[in-house]
Structure 1
Amino acid sequence: MESIKTFTGATEDEVWQKIAFDMASQKELLSYSALIKLPDAQIYFDTDLDLGGGFEGGISTTTFMAPVPENVTLRFALHEQGFIDELGKFFGMEDVELGVKDIDDAFIIKTNQPEEMKRLLSDPAIHPTLLKHKNCELKLHEDADEEGPETVLTFSKDEAILDIAELREIFSMLHSLMQKLR
């Protein structure tokens, strides 16, 4: 298991320069974990590519996770819309429509606060990143660990993203969402 590296900086640019240098210095980059600390956010990311062997198939994942303030009551789950979801919507399954055709067509969104969800995803700057990663799952939910439960914003995808520009795009989207949640 690779250790989690911590990168601290005053700006996204400063931190991502450090991460890019560190990732470039790795001989065989099959997995990478980092904790990014900015003055207004703390976001963890992990990307892992396991090629498998023999009869085993490989796996690959990318996950970002960020704790949100305790007073945030919004909860949501966003995932790619598939054929089964389309059938479900036909039979009355709830899905929040944002009024943004590309996003509404690509994703199923479930939330406890539809109007707050619309406000959160109203920034057109985050739409290209979401649409680029249609097969992702984006959630704001309760998570528990050895220290107890906390509310976290997570982005997960069954693909190891090792490209620094793509990782930074996802980070920037989450950082933007975190700022709106404050």
Structure 2
Amino acid sequence: MSALKSLFGASREEIWRQLAREVGGQFHDGSVFRPSAVQARTDDWIITLDTLSDPNSGATYTRLRAPYFNPERFRFEIYRTTFFSDLGKALGMQDIEVGHPRFDRDFVIKGNAPGRVRRLFDSQKIRRLIDDLPRIRLSVKAHEGMLSKFPAGVDELHFQATGTIKDLGRLRTLFDLFAEVLQELCHEGKAYEDDVRIHMRRLRAPGGQIRDRHLIWEGNEPRRDAAAALGRLGDPAAGPTLASVLEDKDTALVARAIEALARIGDAKAIGPLVCRLGDTKAADDGRPIRDHVADALRQLGEGVLVDAFLSAAGGDFARLKAYDGEYREEIIEALCNSIRWRSAEHPANALAEIHAVEALPRLRAILTNFGGRNPTGQAVADAIRRLEARASLPRAAAAADVEVDTLPRAAGEPRPDRGTLPRGSRAPGGPR
């Protein structure tokens, strides 16, 4: 075996296993239908190295890829200059010059945003890593359309080369290049720990996972980390972005966003938080989201509102009926959100008790979904009947303008001084 190794060199598996150790990644064994792969995480991204076979030609390709959040739809492609690329330029396929003459001479660079292309390749480290590779075709691969398994806004940094790459140094350079380019594309090459704008961008990225042979995208943890960082940084500008994830299906993220809003302390967060007071789903710590919201609202000075709502959710409506503070619309939203199978009686009754006629369209939709033959449907139907009865009551007539002279007055009381009343314009030719 040692003689064969000295003759043919180390196997791909040996080299790729060594690569996995050097980049702090994981080697995945292959099978008949799935090639082996190396995966490594760098900040928010997963870089995957594997091979791909063309079923028509039988050719094998080595590829690296890393999905990333790309809402701006920035595209670029870079490859070495050849005779054919020079021919393409002569035919009008001009590339973008980035302002570094030797690099511009050696590489063809295309993109849909020239200014951003120049900023990307203004990085000396990125240019050096690319220069160290004898063959390169690096691009952003779009993933759009109904058949895409990628979430909206997620594209892929992609490298592909003919043959199986077994040069450990070249593979390590490719991993380093991917890490640098991703940092530049997503974090503008900055240390982002204290950058509010970058954390807001991270939070806007999709959650969930993408699997293609292996897990190649994991969006939940970076978003949770971003929410916690925004709370630590305390900038009110992050409030709307944090509030936008309060209905996310990742309850761990929701809990962190709630805590962040409480730490920031901006009163503009109160309304969105009140809407979630009816959310009984469990967060990752086992506590209902509602409890996290209640804690946050107390920190924001809304303890009276919280106590009134929670009492009503338990069947005691007196405090909520007496509550005369703000956020009625949000309280109604939270009560509607509280209506769940076998737990609708109290929130439905609370809506009737506070005369929430504006909730009728929502309640009718809930009744349609649940039907009227179960406890939830019956409670909702009863609330609808009570609110419809109230809505049909005659309204007080609007107050009309009353002539001062017609008002009742005590006997002997002088008439009001008409000279002090506002005068209308005199008609032409009328009495003076």
TM-score (norm 2): 0.32
- Partner residue in 1 for 2:136: 136
1:165, distance to aligned residue in structure 2 (A)? 2.8
Asked if 2 retains the 8 angstrom alpha-carbon contact of 1:143 and 1:152, the reply is yes
Measure how far apart 1:96 and its partner are. Answer: 0.3
Structure 2, gaps ≥5 residues long: 1-19, 29-34, 187-432
Q: Within 5 Å, which residues of 2 pair with 1:64-143?
A: 64-143=64-143
From 160, 169, 183, give the equivalent of 1:156.
Answer: 160
1:160 CA displacement: 2.0
Higher strand share: 1
In our comparison, the structure showing a higher alpha carbon Rg is: 2
Question: Could you tell me how far apart the structure 2 residues matched to 1:121 and 1:77 are?
Answer: 12
Could you give the per-residue CA deviations for residues 76-100 of structure 1, whole angstroms, max 9, x where no partner exists?
1212222122133234322101122
3-state SS, counterpart of residue 166 of structure 2: coil
Q: In terms of mean alpha carbon deviation, does 33-42 or 152-161 score higher?
A: 33-42
* Alignment deviations for residues 26-52 of structure 1 (CA, whole Å, 9 cap, x no partner): xxxxx6412222333211111479xxx
2:74 is paired with a residue of what secondary structure? coil
Residues paired across the two proteins, number: 160
CA offset digits 1:145-171 (Å, max 9, x no partner): 762464111111114222333212111
Identity of aligned residues (%): 25
Query: Which residue in 1 is equivalent to 2:47?
Result: 43
- Amino acid corresponding to residue 181 of structure 2 in structure 1: L
Verify the 8 A CA contact 1:47 1:162 in the aligned structure 2: no
Which residue identity is paired with 1:40? D
Q: Which residue of 1 aligns with 2:241?
A: none
SS of residue in 1 equivalent to 2:48: strand
User: In angstroms, what is the RMSD of aligned CA positions?
Assistant: 3.3
Encode CA deviations 1:88-147: one digit per residue, 9 max, x unaligned.
323432210112223212221111001101111111112233123343211012036762
Contact 1:15 1:36 in 2 (8 A): no
Instruction: Give CA-to-partner distance per residue, 1:42-81, whole Å, 9 cap, x none.
Output: 11111479xxxxxxx9744321101111424210121222
- For 2:48, the aligned partner's letter is Y
Unaligned stretches of 5+ residues in structure 1: 1-12, 24-30, 50-56
Deviates more, 1:83-92 or 1:94-103: 83-92
What's the secondary structure of 2:92's corresponding residue?
coil
Aligned mates of 1:37, 1:76 — CA distance in 2: 23
TM, length-normalised to structure 1: 0.71
Which residue of 139, 146, 149 corresponds with 1:147? 149
The letter of the residue matching 2:113 is Q
SS in 1 for 2:125: coil
Question: Whole-Å Cα distance in 2 between the matches of residues 48 and 71 of structure 1?
Answer: 28
- Contact 1:48–1:160 (CA<8 Å) still a contact in 2? no
- The counterpart of 1:16, out of the listed 23, 33, 38, is 23
